[in-house]
């Protein structure tokens, strides 16, 4: 790592788009991990993690100095106006170098020391076990079994080492199915509902126009047979627009041929690819960064199509969840099965299982569907300098969809909005090793559980900050969550119910649409009431 060219610059002006007239003046410090701005008069400090920096733009010099416009991955936008152009150039070059490491083991998590925290480096890494999570919802059902075929990542190096498959499927069936699926991501169990209908996931088949695999067809038949209460059919949910799936056939991929999968019913959902989503979020953020009236804001947000894409996600998950609740197993895939597939399976699981609406359960869901099944966090989040065409806000969009559910059903979730925001920020911060790498195998090779701290340990130590005051779970006599139809989460996907998430995208601009959302005011009010109740109780106890 090169030395920082200029560690300190004085008389720097800090501007944001709401504070051009009276910018703060202070000293800018550049460290190997942070940009720190200290205001001269009140000595207030502003810290920006370098791993949160998305881009730095050197704007034309003005009479006030040379502006550096910084965009961050957690949606902070600031401008530092530096008096001397030479200092500005040095800061610009240093920021670009330090915020874009070229190797994963140069990331912040491998140097971070949680000396001010109450947890240790070993804490959190054993919070979740994939097999235990499957046993939780499989119970005594014997139609599904664990296979060791991928224990060394031989069949699929982006899948977890532990897989659950139909008990009727032999090893040869699984091996040949993997060969027929893109990147070896064969159909495996994602979640089993209490009526024995399953959510399964995979990647697209290498079907082209005429290719087939008898073993893959047999595996899907075994999935149908594992659901004795079904009508002998399977829904295949292809999350892509059908025209995209058809285009992939020309490249030897595509989707299952209807004449070979006779008991399958095909459903296409128009969730767009990562390139469309990346452009859509950029338009959304541009809309947030343009001066406009309150009446103009909704139309510019709508023009980004971001809310339309979130609605597509919720439409897909709602179809999957309702199909499974009605007794039909569903196989979900997109192209490679690590973006749209992870989104759809996760959201459907939240609707089906109240455990995934708890703090621990939501973390377990992320561990299973995203970390274990190989969502490409480092590529999609741009953790290191690489092909920017691989970056995409896939996990951001998933959290947005969860927030939409939370907003509609606030008493159904144990966690609050802040929990989702903190999760989002630490996906990009690289402060913890939990989300470093693109799959389980890569994280094992990087030894993140030995060399870095776990985000789960951090969340455990601050859990009181993330509890939803309005959570109202349905419990049995042993205080366990009940898995029942009454706990199915119904989601209204009407366009008017899909809202802009100001608490994520605009949270750094406190004056924009300044009215606090009602739920935040209610939570604050409840905290104050609880505090007063504690004081009254203490006074009463002292009198006795």
Active site amino acids:
334
HSE toward the beta carbon, residue 300, CA cutoff 13 A: 16
Spatial neighbors of 190 by CB under 8 A, at least 6 apart, are 198, 199, 200, 201, 332, 345, 349, 368, 369, 373
Helices (H), 226-296: 242-249, 274-288
* CA 160/CA 152 separation, integer angstroms: 9
* Alpha helices in 329-393, H assignment, sequence order: 340-352, 359-365, 377-381
Is residue 118 classed as helix, strand or coil in its secondary structure? coil
DSSP string, 498-524: ----HHHHSTT-TTTT-SPPHHHHHHH
Backbone angles phi, psi at 147, to 5 degrees: -120, 145
The partner residues of 250 in beta bridges, in order of sequence, read: none
The bridge status of strand 66-72 relative to strand 53-58 is antiparallel
H-run or E-run covering 199: strand 198-201
Cβ atoms of residues 157 and 178 within 8 Å = no
Tell me the three state secondary structure of residue 393: coil
Contact 312, 270 (CB under 8 A): yes
CB 350 within 8 A of CB 357: yes
3-class secondary-structure state, position 165: strand
HEC readout, 76-112 = CEEEEEECCHHHHHHHHHHHHHHCCCCCHHHCHHHCC
Beta carbons of 401 and 310 less than 8 angstroms apart: yes
In DSSP notation, 450-490 reads: HHS--HHHHHHHTGGGGB-TT----B-TTS-B--SGGG---
Q: Do the Cβ atoms of 252 and 208 come closer than 8 Å?
A: yes
Alpha helix positions (H), 120-238: 130-138, 171-180, 214-225
Q: Are 349 and 476 in contact (CB under 8 A)?
A: no
Question: What is the Cα–Cα distance from 226 to 221, expressed in whole angstroms?
Answer: 9
Burial class (CB in 10 A: 0-12, 13-18, 19+), 277: buried
Query: CB of 15 within 8 A of CB of 68?
Result: no
Is the distance from CB of 72 to CB of 55 less than 8 angstroms? no
């Amino acid at each position: 790592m090169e030395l920082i060219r200029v560690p300190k610059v004085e008389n720097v002006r800090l501007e944001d788009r709401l504070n051009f007239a009276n910018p703060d003046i202070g000293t800018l410090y550049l460290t190997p991990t942070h940009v720190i701005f200290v205001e001269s008069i009140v000595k207030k400090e502003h810290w920006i993690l370098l791993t949160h920096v998305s881009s730095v733009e050197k704007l034309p010099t003005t009479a006030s100095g040379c502006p550096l416009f910084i965009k961050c991955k957690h949606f902070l936008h600031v401008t530092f106006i530096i008096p001397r152009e030479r200092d500005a150039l040095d800061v610009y070059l240093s920021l670009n170098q330090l915020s874009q490491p070229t190797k994963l083991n140069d990331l912040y998590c491998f140097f971070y020391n949680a000396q001010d925290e109450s947890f240790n480096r070993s804490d959190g890494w054993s919070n979740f076990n994939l097999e235990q999570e499957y046993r939780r919802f499989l119970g005594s059902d014997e139609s599904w079994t664990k296979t060791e075929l991928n224990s060394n990542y031989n069949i699929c190096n982006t899948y977890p080492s532990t897989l659950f498959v139909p008990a009727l499927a032999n090893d040869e069936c699984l091996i040949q199915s993997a060969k027929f699926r893109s990147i070896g991501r064969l159909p495996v169990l994602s979640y089993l509902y209490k009526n024995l209908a399953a959510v399964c996931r995979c990647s697209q088949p290498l079907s082209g126009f005429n290719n087939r695999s008898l073993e893959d067809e047999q595996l899907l038949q075994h999935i149908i047979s594992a659901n004795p209460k079904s009508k002998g059919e399977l829904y295949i949910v292809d999350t892509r627009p059908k025209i995209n799936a058809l285009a992939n056939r020309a490249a030897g991929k595509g989707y299952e041929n209807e004449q070979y999968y006779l008991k399958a019913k095909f459903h296409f959902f128009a969730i767009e690819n990562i390139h469309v989503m990346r452009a859509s979020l950029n338009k959304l953020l541009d809309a947030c960064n343009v001066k406009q009236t309150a009446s103009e804001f909704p139309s510019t947000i709508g023009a980004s199509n971001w809310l339309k894409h979130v609605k597509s996600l919720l439409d897909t998950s709602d179809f999957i969840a309702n199909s499974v609740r009605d007794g039909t197993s569903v196989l979900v895939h997109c192209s490679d099965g690590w973006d749209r597939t992870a989104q759809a399976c996760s959201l459907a699981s939240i609707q089906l299982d109240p455990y995934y609406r708890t703090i621990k359960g939501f973390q377990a869901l992320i561990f299973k569907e995203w970390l274990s099944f190989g969502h490409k966090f480092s590529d999609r989040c741009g953790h290191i300098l690489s092909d920017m065409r691989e970056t995409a806000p896939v996990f951001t969009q998933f959290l947005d969809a969860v927030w939409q559910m939370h907003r509609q059903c606030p008493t159904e979730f144990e966690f609050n909005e802040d929990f989702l925001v903190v999760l989002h920020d630490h996906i990009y911060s690289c402060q913890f090793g939990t989300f470093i790498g693109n799959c389980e195998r890569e994280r094992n090779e990087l030894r993140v559980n030995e060399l870095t701290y776990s985000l789960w340990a951090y969340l455990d130590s601050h859990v009181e900050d993330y509890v939803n005051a309005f959570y109202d779970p349905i419990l049995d006599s042993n205080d366990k969550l009940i898995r029942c139809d009454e706990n199915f989460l119904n989601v209204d996907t009407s366009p008017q119910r899909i809202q802009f998430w100001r608490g994520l995208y605009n949270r750094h601009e406190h004056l924009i649409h300044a009215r606090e959302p009602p739920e935040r005011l209610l939570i604050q009010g409840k905290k104050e009431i609880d505090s007063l109740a504690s004081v009254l109780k203490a006074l009463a106890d002292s009198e006795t």
